[in-house]
Structure 1
Amino acid sequence: MRTPARIAVLLALALTACRGGKDPNFVRAFHEAERAETAGRYAEASARFDEAAAKAPDPREKGHAAYLAAKMLERAGDNAGASARLEAIAQQNPPTEHTARALYDLADLRIAHGDPDKGYADLTTLVEKHPSSGLAPHALIRLASHRDETSGQKDTIAWLDGLGPRLGKSELGETIAYQAALRTQATGDLQGAHARFLAVVDRWPYPYGNTFDDSLYRASEIDETLGRNEEAIAHLNRMLAERETAHLLGTYQRPRYIQAALRIATLYRDRLHDRAKAREAFHRIYADFTTSVYRDDALWQEAELYRLDGDTNAACSRASTLVREFPDSRYVPCAEAKCPSVTRPSKSDAPKKCHDYLSRARSPEAPHAEPQPPQAPLAGPQLPAAGAN
């Protein structure tokens, strides 16, 4: 596997060769190591990477070749030798670009081969001494899961809270706070978890927060469970307010966006019994999420809500749009059955028959006059599981 670090070294080798490099022996040894690795001769590859490290023209290339030599020993089955090499790299002072990687790999080896205490100690060192490493969040989550299993989630929360004062301002701070919030929710402290999730949102807002949308989504789920449906919708709208559109290649979409839009619509429809706002919310999915696979679902739900209100013209107008723009949709035969003016296009792979569960109209539900007990979060009736854009 060619990691970004290895690719960078290979590019450097290519540049060195183009410039008539100063040490062709390094280039030769590195390429011989690559060939041995490709052929599955890992012990030989390790020796060749060692040779390349000894002849490396600069410290960065030397360190990378030494790290690859250690990894080749691991692949050769020499776990003791690999562990010794990785530990030496991890203890180098000052740290190098491979220090955190070596600690993480060393932890993996020790946990997998009979020395888990040292392995988790390695992960702890990585978290506390290298919190800005890209591997630190992974190490933290593994440590937290291990504590969950050995000491319980409440102990894990206390441990995470203890890390906050020391590491809260580092790049690891958001992960610490979010993991503590997750476990607070899991222990049943919904109010405490709600406060923690919103604290994450406020401290690490979009676009800098990696868990901004997840935190708002989970806070909305707690609100819904406690019967605070308007607040749940407000949190979901706060997430969607940050949604951006890419004008060139790529996307700014986050996986929670379409989930949030679907839940807003179902909350209005099934919790608050506000069909007008539910229609608007479903139409927004169709109009704004132009790459979503749920656009035809949203149009159908909007049409059904119009039908429940007795507005057949509007319902059939939406059904007509659905059939025209999504000729292969599973809702096409349902639209034909309910709206005689709608005809499927000649080129349509939609089912011939409308399934009963799609054509069955939902009965209107009167709003409750009295406050209701906590409710389980909605799964989005008649809609596929959310999560795709």
Structure 2
Amino acid sequence: MSALALLVASGCGRDEARYRWERALLAADRLADHEDYRAAREAYVHLSTGDMAEPAREAELRYVQYRLAWLSEREGDYRAAVLGYQELWGNEQRDEIAAKAMYRVGYIFYEPLGRREDGLEVWERVMTAMPDTIAAGKALREILSHYDREGVPREALKFIERLYPRLHDTPIDDNLMYRYGQRLRALGSEDGAEKAFRRVIDDHPTSGLVDDAQWELADLYRAQQRFDDALLILRFITENREESWIVGSYDSEYVDDARFQRGIILLDALNSHEEAEREFWRFLDEFPESILRDDARWNIIQSRLAREDGDGARDGCAELTEVEPESRWVDDCETIVAALNQGASPRSLRREAAD
């Protein structure tokens, strides 16, 4: 056999061994997910020992080790679980598996063992040691939820203020600042909240929390009756969607609400009725399947009534009844049309917008 043939044969052998290992891992995961813990443990141990472990990558063997510790946790053997998890973040290991393991140790201390201070301390270590991991964000939420449950929101502020200098310019920076803004607003510090949300937007333009911060900011401006500022921020959210279509990235979860709320502000707060109607038509065009579509049509009718456009209101009611026959507004439309037919002033029939 030639050297080339030997290389091809050995390569095929490795591919086959690799395939068997991956299939065995999937089978072990299924056993664990179906709570057959004894069989799952045997399968994971087999995967990580002897010749069977040879095709596995280091990260995959660490995953198997994580699952073995997880099995101990599920079985209530917390000492074994903690020891297993600790092996994964010892020796300066800093990856997602290490962060998940440290997070689980924090959970074990906090919840089943009732050692809350120890749990909080471990979660803080996740954040400071591995701020670039998913587990760091989960640890932050756990710590802040603790303060919320305890009814001590100012302690949450102090926690963020203490940690922020250490975590500034790390991947969790935006998350800290966003949570800080939320809690400042809840405590009535609107100026502080505005600055915090602005920092998320300005300092972290590619963050996944930019839309959240913009939405919070628009809601704050609306509550302060700074309607032009609110409209501007809501427009930014809708433009984010248009840009995401062009570059093929994400679509904001707030974009339909942003378009709808622009219409509400124009209709109710600024009395810009024609502009409000245009905004609601854009909403219907962009989000034809939205659960708010009948509300948008109702608000179009309200904009026409406010402009003394009785014929337009009739047409709007007829269209709403035809397109959305199950809408909660159908009966109200019948009342409006009957009153218009009896000569009532359209403006006198204006109702509250659907917010």
**1:1-389 maps to which residues of 2 (within 5 A)?**
19-21=15-17, 33=28, 37=32, 40-55=35-50, 56-57=53-54, 58=56, 59-112=58-111, 113-147=113-147, 152-205=152-205, 208-244=206-242, 252-335=250-333, 338-339=336-337, 361-362=349-350, 381-383=352-354
Judging changes above 3 Å, is the alpha-carbon distance between structure 1 residues 337 and 95 closer, same or farther for their aligned structure 2 residues? closer
For the 8 Å contact 1:201–1:216, the answer to whether it is kept is yes
Judging changes above 3 Å, is the alpha-carbon distance between structure 1 residues 101 and 290 closer, same or farther for their aligned structure 2 residues? same
Q: Report the TM-score when normalising by structure 2.
A: 0.79
Judging changes above 3 Å, is the alpha-carbon distance between structure 1 residues 97 and 285 closer, same or farther for their aligned structure 2 residues? closer
CA distance in 2, matches of 1:39, 1:227: 54
State the aligned residue count: 330
Judging changes above 3 Å, is the alpha-carbon distance between structure 1 residues 277 and 100 closer, same or farther for their aligned structure 2 residues? same
Judging changes above 3 Å, is the alpha-carbon distance between structure 1 residues 298 and 117 closer, same or farther for their aligned structure 2 residues? same
For the 8 Å contact 2:41–2:71, the answer to whether it is kept is yes
Letter of the 2:120 partner, please give it. Y
Judging changes above 3 Å, is the alpha-carbon distance between structure 1 residues 264 and 187 closer, same or farther for their aligned structure 2 residues? same
CA distance in 2, matches of 1:164, 1:135: 17
Letter of the 2:80 partner, please give it. G
CA distance in 2, matches of 1:149, 1:337: 48
Judging changes above 3 Å, is the alpha-carbon distance between structure 1 residues 224 and 102 closer, same or farther for their aligned structure 2 residues? same
For the 8 Å contact 2:222–2:230, the answer to whether it is kept is yes
For the 8 Å contact 2:88–2:98, the answer to whether it is kept is yes
Q: Deviations over 1:171-225 (max 9, x none)?
A: 21110110111111111111111122122112223xx222222212222222222
Judging changes above 3 Å, is the alpha-carbon distance between structure 1 residues 261 and 82 closer, same or farther for their aligned structure 2 residues? same
Please state how far the C-alpha of 1:91 moved relative to its aligned partner: 1.6
CA distance in 1, matches of 2:77, 2:210: 43
For the 8 Å contact 2:301–2:316, the answer to whether it is kept is yes
Judging changes above 3 Å, is the alpha-carbon distance between structure 1 residues 215 and 16 closer, same or farther for their aligned structure 2 residues? farther
Please state how far the C-alpha of 1:102 moved relative to its aligned partner: 0.6
Letter of the 1:75 partner, please give it. R
CA distance in 1, matches of 2:265, 2:78: 55
Q: Deviations over 1:254-274 (max 9, x none)?
A: 332222223222222322233
Sequence identity of aligned pairs in percent? 22
CA distance in 2, matches of 1:326, 1:118: 56
For the 8 Å contact 2:240–2:252, the answer to whether it is kept is no
Letter of the 2:239 partner, please give it. A
Q: Deviations over 1:132-166 (max 9, x none)?
A: 11121111121233345669333432432343333
SS in 1 for 2:16: coil
CA distance in 2, matches of 1:38, 1:239: 40
Judging changes above 3 Å, is the alpha-carbon distance between structure 1 residues 252 and 30 closer, same or farther for their aligned structure 2 residues? closer
Q: Deviations over 1:244-290 (max 9, x none)?
A: 38879x99443322222232222223222332333233232223323
Moved more, 270-279 or 27-36: 27-36
Judging changes above 3 Å, is the alpha-carbon distance between structure 1 residues 20 and 104 closer, same or farther for their aligned structure 2 residues? same
Judging changes above 3 Å, is the alpha-carbon distance between structure 1 residues 114 and 308 closer, same or farther for their aligned structure 2 residues? closer
Judging changes above 3 Å, is the alpha-carbon distance between structure 1 residues 303 and 54 closer, same or farther for their aligned structure 2 residues? same
Judging changes above 3 Å, is the alpha-carbon distance between structure 1 residues 16 and 101 closer, same or farther for their aligned structure 2 residues? farther
Q: CA RMSD in A?
A: 3.3
For the 8 Å contact 1:299–1:322, the answer to whether it is kept is yes
For the 8 Å contact 1:286–1:296, the answer to whether it is kept is no
CA distance in 1, matches of 2:40, 2:19: 19
Aligned to 1:355: none
Please state how far the C-alpha of 1:100 moved relative to its aligned partner: 0.8
CA distance in 1, matches of 2:47, 2:309: 77
Q: Deviations over 1:227-248 (max 9, x none)?
A: 3222222222222222238879
For the 8 Å contact 1:47–1:69, the answer to whether it is kept is no
